[in-house]
Amino acid sequence: MSALEIFSPAKLNLFLAVTGRRADGFHELVSVVAPVMWGDTLTVVVRVENRRPRAGRREVGGKGRSPREEFSLECDDPAVPRDGTNLVLRAAELFRAATGWDRGARFVLTKRIPMGAGLGGGSSNGAMALRALNRLAGELLAPAALADLAGRLGSDCALFLHSGPVVMRGRGERVEPLPESGAARLRGRRVLIFKPSFGVATPWAYGRLAESAPGSYLPAPEAEARLVAWLADGDAVAEKLLFNNMESVAFAKFIALPALLERLHERFGVTARMSGSGSACFALLNADSPVAEITAAIREAWGASALVVGAQLQ
């Protein structure tokens, strides 16, 4: 196999409790995250003819190809960086360093997940690049090793190697499946994802959260207690899980976010929250939710350029 097309899903933070800041500058969190059945598409084509010279061999002129020459990225969104800052290319370099795989690859990314949305688009792309390369290379890494590599790539990357709702801890690198008692209440649930024309920079959001500490953090024992209580109550609906203490930071600056969420709740009775550090939000839908009317209300508030897409939780 020399080529592979892989789906790269977006994610939603259904429960996000940032519990404190670590000495290394990262934040600790407890979060329930679900990938959704909507996202990007990543195609990977192995460059069989551009193999790096093996030890003891030299190319004409005495120079081997650099890794960056052997890995390239194309994307239909001109705003997406195509250099070494992109997590797809960083994932490729990490994979090579971990396995010694000596072939290059061309990545073609069809982008749907917007940047600055809190939907994990870049992290998903990086994780799927790792998964695709591992498959194309003949499964050189076992699942645990691949997950470890994803955790080194980025805080949100490892979660995308799971196919359903997970609980993230630490800075996001510690991931485990959500117990089935909770996952069954989430899996397949219809959601409406919507994002205004502006984004929210994640470093800014976490920086502002740290500035307003300690009152902005939710203590870890309280976060864990909330999650345990929801899991233990078999009758608790998904809406009772929803929480995000990063909303206080984003809502204080971008008042269009809370204004719309309050309006949707008042007019349609839907429970809506922000995902991650924003600016994308989501609403859990019921069978009788008036999706067309909700969509119209979102576009009325945020304009025709707002992203509005329906999806299901994986």
* CB neighbour class for 225 (10 Å; exposed up to 12, middle 13-18, buried from 19): exposed
User: In 10 A of CB 212, how many CB atoms?
Assistant: 12
**Strand ranges inside 48-200, DSSP E:** 71-75, 104-110, 166-169, 174-177, 190-195
Give the residue from 128, 120, 130 showing the smallest Cα distance to 34.
Answer: 120
Measured CA to CA, the distance from residue 44 to residue 105 in angstroms comes to 6
Catalytic option among 77, 83, 148, 156:
156
Is 156 a residue of the active site?
yes
Omega prior to 216 cis, within 30 of 0 = no
Residue 105 three-state SS = strand
Task: State which H helix or E strand residue 27 sits in.
Answer: strand 27-47
Spell out the SS3 assignment of 277-292.
Answer: CCCCEEEECCCCCCHH
Query: 195 Cβ partners below 8 Å, 6+ apart?
Result: 114, 117, 119, 279, 280, 281, 306, 307
Catalytic option among 11, 40, 111, 195:
11
Measured CA to CA, the distance from residue 24 to residue 21 in angstroms comes to 8
Measured CA to CA, the distance from residue 196 to residue 194 in angstroms comes to 7
Is 11 a residue of the active site?
yes
Judged by phi (left if over 0) then psi (alpha if -120 to 50, else beta), residue 299 lies in: alpha
| Residues annotated catalytic, as ranges | 11, 156
